[in-house]
Amino acid sequence: MSMNKHDIQHKQAFDEPLWWGLFSAGGVCFAVLLPAVILFIAVLLPLGLLPAEALSYERASSLLFSVPGFLFVGAAVCLPLFHAAHRLRHGMFDISVGNDALNKKLMYGGAALLSALALGLVVAGFFS
């Protein structure tokens, strides 16, 4: 019995549901949340089109370094990062760049690291 070969061929992908779940949740955040986030923070704010105190240093700190701020970063940074990681990993396979096993570690690992950094910054701000 070539049970080993059989097992390898039929290896269950226990991790893929996790990546796909994060990808999907991140996709929803990217689509529903990010248009407003980018518009207000990356376009209107630097163009000076927001009221002066809207995102002053004090107000921005109190908004971001809070429990709602923590949840906001989870939805607007962490989940979209995993969404991006998933699409980049599959995109690299689509154009035959690198190998999937390594790309997987790099992409999801990178998303996890940056997510930890983002949430860590909120926690650090909360306690400072």
Partner 1 sequence: MSTEQISTNVISTQSASTKHISVKRYLPDNSTETYWQEYDLPVDDSTSLLDALNHIKEQLDSTLSYRWSCRMAICGSCGVMVNGIPKLGCKTFLRDYEGDIRIEPLAHFPVQRDLVVDMEIFLEHLAAVKPYLIDDNPVKPYDPNAPETYQQTPEQLERYKQFANCINCGLCYSACPQFGLNPEFLGPAALTLAHRYNLDSRDNGKKQRMAELNRHDGVWSCTFVGFCSKVCPKHVDPAAAVNQGKVEAAKHTLIALFKG
Partner 2 sequence: MNKSTSQRLPPLKRNWWLKHRFFKLYMLREATVLPLVFFILCFLAGMVALLQGAESWQGWIAFMGSPIVLLLNLLALAASLFHAATFFVLFPRVMPLRIAGHSLPDKAIVAGQWAGVVAVALLFFWLLGRGGV
Measured from the CB atom, the residue of 14 and 68 that comes closer to partner 2 is 68
Is 78:115 a contact under the CB 8 Å cutoff?
A: yes
Binding mask 7-26 for partner 1 (x = CB under 8 A): ---xxxxx-xx--xx-----
Of the chain, the end-to-end C-alpha distance in Å amounts to: 63
Q: How far is the CB of 3 from partner 2 (least distance, A)?
A: 13
Burial class of 117 by CB neighbour count within 10 A (0 to 12, 13 to 18, 19+)? exposed
The option from partner 2, partner 1, none interacting with 83 (CB < 5 to 8 A, set by class) reads: partner 2
Measured from the CB atom, the residue of 11 and 68 that comes closer to partner 1 is 11
